[in-house]
């Protein structure tokens, strides 16, 4: 049996097990292509949060990183939430603790704390509202205040500040390693090779990289954009896993990543075999202490309601 046949067989077995377990499989846009192909829903943090809230399945299998599975459990405590690879974490989420978030708030009394969903349940629990890269400016506008605290991503905070100039955004000094390491030179080098290409940049990138973009978009925003754009070629400045979904969203168009590729090693820890094994053995259960969950749910549900 060849490699392609092996993948098809594993996907079929995974889908069969999902049906038997009354499970829905959610996969982030940065997952391996074959994991995305085995999922019921593929999307960004906001889209998958909505799917987790809406699903009637009794089991949620989350192919992503830990904070995403935690978020699903926060929203749907009555459901079993499984992670195929429990060791898949998020360096950005680890850059702030609940104690640090509390101290951040204490240092700026009266300012609401807006927390990127890329954070732990404990940090969400001490936050006023969560956001994603897709809705962060809308979340900040909805608060109708003059100053907000924003954690943990300083780059997304800078993007929000540029989009909501009448609000002071005080940023925590965290970042996504995969996005933060991108330099303007890397983007310009790709642009020289493909001068007609449209440059799409994720707002987790540094401001000087964002400044080179034709469009600054979340992963879901990129997927919508390429389907309607008149451009035939794109330079995609986000984690390389999105290229698979972009090819599906706009067949025939050309998508260029950077060199070296943008890679989140944690996202790639989940394999198709681990996904199959998780469903077969019902392993990798994610739990959130009820006291933490109830407080975190307020911030997450507010995010989902804003859209």
Tens digits of per-residue pLDDT, 213-263?
999 999 999 999 999 999 999 999 999 999 999 999 999 999 999 999 999
Query: CA dihedral defined by 56, 59, 63, 65, rounded to 10 degrees?
Result: 100
CATH superfamily of 178-256: NadA-like (3.40.50.10800)
pLDDT digit string, tens, across residues 183-199: 999 999 999 999 999 99
Residues 262, 265, 266, 271, Cα dihedral to 10°: 110
The predicted structure's pLDDT at residue 4: 65
The number of beta carbons lying within 10 Å of the beta carbon of residue 130 is 31
Fold of 3-90+267-287: Rossmann fold (3.40.50)
Domain 93-175 has CATH 3.40.50.10800: yes
Categorize the per-residue pLDDT at 1 as very low, low, confident or very high, splitting at 50, 70 and 90.
very low
Check residue 208 and give its pLDDT: 98
E strands in 191-269: 198-201, 215-216, 233-237, 254-256
Percentage of the chain lying above the pLDDT 70 cut: 98
| Model confidence at 44: pLDDT above 90 | no
Tell me if domain 3-90+267-287 and domain 93-175 are identical in fold.
yes
Mean pLDDT of the chain: 95
Residue 108 has pLDDT above 90, yes or no: yes
Q: What is the rounded distance in angstroms from the CA atom of residue 167 to the CA atom of residue 170? A: 10
Distance (Å, rounded) from C-alpha 115 to C-alpha 132?
Answer: 9
- Domains in the chain: boundaries: 3-90+267-287, 93-175, 178-256
- pLDDT at residue 52, rounded to an integer: 85
């Amino acid at each position: 049996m060849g490699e392609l046949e092996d993948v098809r067989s594993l996907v079929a077995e995974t889908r069969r097990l999902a049906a038997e377990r009354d499970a829905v499989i959610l996969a982030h846009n940065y997952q391996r292509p074959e994991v995305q192909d085995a999922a019921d829903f593929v999307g960004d943090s906001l889209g998958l949060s909505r799917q987790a809230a809406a699903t009637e399945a009794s089991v949620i299998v989350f192919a992503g990183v830990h904070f995403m599975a935690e978020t699903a459990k926060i929203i749907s405590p009555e459901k079993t939430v499984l992670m195929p690879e429990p060791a898949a974490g998020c360096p950005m989420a680890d850059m702030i603790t609940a104690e640090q978030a509390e101290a951040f708030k204490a240092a700026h009394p009266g300012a609401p704390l807006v927390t990127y969903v890329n954070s732990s349940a404990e940090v969400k629990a001490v936050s006023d509202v969560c956001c994603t890269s897709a809705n962060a400016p809308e979340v900040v506008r909805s608060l109708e205040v003059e100053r907000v605290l924003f954690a943990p991503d300083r780059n997304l905070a800078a993007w929000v500040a540029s989009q909501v100039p009448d609000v002071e955004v005080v940023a925590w000094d965290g970042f996504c390693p995969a996005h933060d390491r991108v330099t303007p030179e890397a983007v310009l080098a790709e642009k020289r090779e493909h001068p007609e290409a449209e440059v799409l940049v994720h707002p987790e990138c540094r401001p000087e990289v964002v400044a080179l973009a034709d469009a600054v978009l979340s992963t879901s925003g990129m997927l919508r954009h390429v389907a309607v754009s008149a451009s035939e070629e794109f330079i995609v400045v986000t984690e390389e896993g999105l290229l698979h979904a972009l090819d599906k969203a706009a067949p025939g168009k050309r998508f260029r990543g950077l060199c070296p590729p943008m890679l989140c090693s944690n996202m790639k820890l989940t394999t198709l075999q681990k996904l199959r094994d998780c469903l077969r053995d019902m392993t990798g259960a994610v739990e959130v202490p009820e006291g933490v969950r109830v407080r975190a749910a307020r911030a997450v549900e507010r995010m989902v309601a804003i859209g």
